[in-house]
Amino acid sequence: MPKLMQTGIEGLDRVLCGGFLYHNSILLKGAPGCGKTTLGMQIIYNGATLYDEPGVIVLFEQFPQQLFRDVSSYGWDLRGLEEQGKLRVLFSEPEEVVSPDRMIDPPLVSKVQAAAYEIGARRVLVDSVSHILNLTRDQREARELLLRFINALKSIGLTPVLTAEAENTAGAIGVDEYLTDCVLNLSSEAARNKTFAIRELSIRKTRGHDHLRGRHVFRLTNRGVEVFPRTPGRLPESSVTTGGALARLSSGISGLDELLGGGYTQGTSTIIAGMPGTFKTTLGVQFVTKGARSDEKCILVSFSERPGFLARLMEEKGLPVGAMVSEGRLKILHYVPKETFMEEVLAHLEAEFRAGGVTRLTVDGINEIERGIEEPDAYKDILQAFLTLCQAYGVTALFTQKLEQLSGTSPLSNINYASMFDGIIYLGTLEIESAVHKVVSVLKMRGGAFSTDLCEITCDSKGLTVLDKFVGLSGILSGNAQGQYKKTVEELFQPLYFIRDFLEMLGSPDVDEAQRAMIIENLRAEANKLVDKLKTHFNVKQ
């Protein structure tokens, strides 16, 4: 494959599968304020500063002094680049693309050629070619005028980057899009569920090389344009061993590892689903703190709680999140869904994964991912991108999901996209004798044997603990338990066993009067215990 011209904008180069082909004409098209001029300037600036490819900028509207002032907010010193011989800025009139003689280059082409030869330019930006198309109302003449201008720039040895205004008619395709080799459409529209406009770019065509399909969001930051691809694109092969038994990572919770068959299967993604207040966040946090204690590199993505408040909550449960963050053993990435693009979160995570060493990730919670996406149909694609990213880098991940309600006898019907995950853990509530108990069950876990027992889970100052199995009860998943909890039945029968043993002792001829009196006192104590337990069990006050 021929060498590609990198833009220096990491996300955009990923969308372009490496960059543009040299000498292809590139059209950046969009409505006012969408960032097309900034993007064009950045491609020229990065070429000069990052790749030793000097550039020429042609302006039809803006004076060079105004341009220098405006782009300085991004930290770009165009005047300094001119002094270093890496840039030339030309102000021109659109009429200069018209030649009085077809055998002679237009005045503007001659100016660009002279500047390009002077500094050895490889790139040129023309802002904007809409002025050229407006020189005549004859579409055929306008088409010929623009095509000759583009070909003249290519013949100089330059890669033309052109900006253009979008047509007023929605969905209309302008003549400039037919004449250029690559077309990037940029938009800036008010988001339905956000407090700011959402900027997106899509690539209509790229001649000679591939690109990522779809619409990709971008921001205008103090560093210029930052692009966040809809999907991660080409990813490395998973680092998880493919031969032999898959490794297991401890959950950090006493009793849960036994249910999981030794822990979470390495490199898998598990969803932790449950009603509010069922320890979903705590379970996810305990997983990453367990890794951090073993000097693993762990990340917690929080959409619900701010890091400081989350750390204080976890401190009460014996999880030193704040200390681990301060020591660099745990990293918390906090995002506000209404103000964040999920593609941006993906880009940040991938950067962390590429840096190496990340073994565990907890995302709390995926309900907020849905809130952070403007198009409901795109939710599954974004979620799949999260899972694919974790799998590619061998990261074992937990995703928490809040269930608004539970219907039927299986929580699987309430878990969104359950089939996409390698593992599913359900957390719920259960009423037993007017007391609320929390229940945990492993519904699915790829990579080995696991237990499907329904067990009680509790939380104290030492974190979460999985206790006994709910033997003797049915209907737990539906929240309507029936039968008698074996643990409770055993507690009721225990005093009867003692009473039976004491009565047998009283019937023995070897028992003297002192021993008989002691046995009778013990009988009375055990009988009172049984009465108290029965009163409690049946809610009898007298």
Measured CA to CA, the distance from residue 485 to residue 472 in angstroms comes to 5
Region 459-463 average pLDDT? 90
Average pLDDT over residues 253-267: 92
The winner for highest mean pLDDT among 91-100, 229-238, 313-322 is 313-322
Strands (E), 191-235: 197-206, 215-221, 224-228
Where is average pLDDT lowest: 365-369, 483-487, 488-492? Answer: 483-487
CATH fourth-level superfamily of 248-475: P-loop containing nucleotide triphosphate hydrolases (3.40.50.300)
pLDDT at 220 over 80: yes
Give the residue-averaged pLDDT of 102-106: 82
Question: By the 8 A CB rule, do 4 and 209 touch?
Answer: yes
Stronger pLDDT, 97 or 497, i.e. the higher one:
97
User: Which amino acid is located at 226 in the chain?
Assistant: E
Residue 212, pLDDT > 90, answer no
Q: CB atoms < 10 A from the CB of 191, how many?
A: 13
Average pLDDT, the chain: 85
Cα distance between residue 511 and residue 523, in whole Å: 15
Q: How confident is the model at residue 240 (pLDDT cuts 50, 70, 90)?
A: low
- Of 186-190, 299-303, 376-380, 441-445, the least confident: 376-380
Q: Give the Å distances, CA to CA, from 172 to 19, 30, 135, 180, 213.
A: 26, 12, 20, 16, 20
pLDDT exceeds 90 at position 370: no
The CATH classification of domain 4-228, taken from the options 3.40.50.300, 3.40.1160.10, 3.40.50.720, 3.40.50.360: 3.40.50.300
218: phi > 0 → left, psi -120 to 50 → alpha, else beta; which? beta
pLDDT digits (tens, 9 = 90+) for 36-80: 999 999 999 999 999 999 999 999 988 889 999 999 999 999 999
pLDDT, average across residues 125-147? 91
State whether residue 321 is helix, strand or coil: helix
pLDDT in tens, 405-454: 655 556 666 777 888 999 999 998 876 666 778 889 898 888 778 988 88
Please say if the pLDDT value at position 484 is more than 50.
Answer: no
Report the range out of 95-104, 107-116, 341-350, 522-531 with the highest average pLDDT: 107-116
Omega before 85 within 30 of 0, i.e. cis: no
pLDDT of residue 472: 47
Q: Which two tokens stand for residue 153?
A: 């720039």
pTM of the full structure: 0.76
- Residues 365 and 284: their CA atoms lie apart, in Å, by 10
Mean pLDDT of 242-248: 67
Assess whether pLDDT exceeds 90 at residue 183.
Answer: yes
Query: In this predicted model, what pLDDT tens digit does every residue of 499-517 receive, in sequence order?
Result: 777 777 777 888 788 888 8
Residue 287 half-sphere exposure, CB side, CA atoms within 13 Å? 34
Q: What is the pLDDT of residue 292?
A: 95
Q: Is 288 exposed, middle or buried (0-12, 13-18, 19+ CB in 10 A)?
A: buried
- CA atoms of 353 and 281, how far apart (whole Å): 22
Residue 121 and residue 55 in contact, taking contact as beta carbons nearer than 8 Å: yes
For the chain, give the percent of residues with pLDDT over 70.
85
Cα–Cα dist 360/287, whole Å: 8
Confidence of residue 22 (pLDDT cuts 50, 70, 90): very high
Number of other residues whose CB lies within 10 A of the CB of residue 124: 24
DSSP-derived pairing of the beta strands 123-127 and 55-59: parallel
* Residue type, position 526, single letter: E
pLDDT of residue 291: 95
**152 or 518, higher pLDDT:** 152
Confidence of residue 483 (pLDDT cuts 50, 70, 90): very low
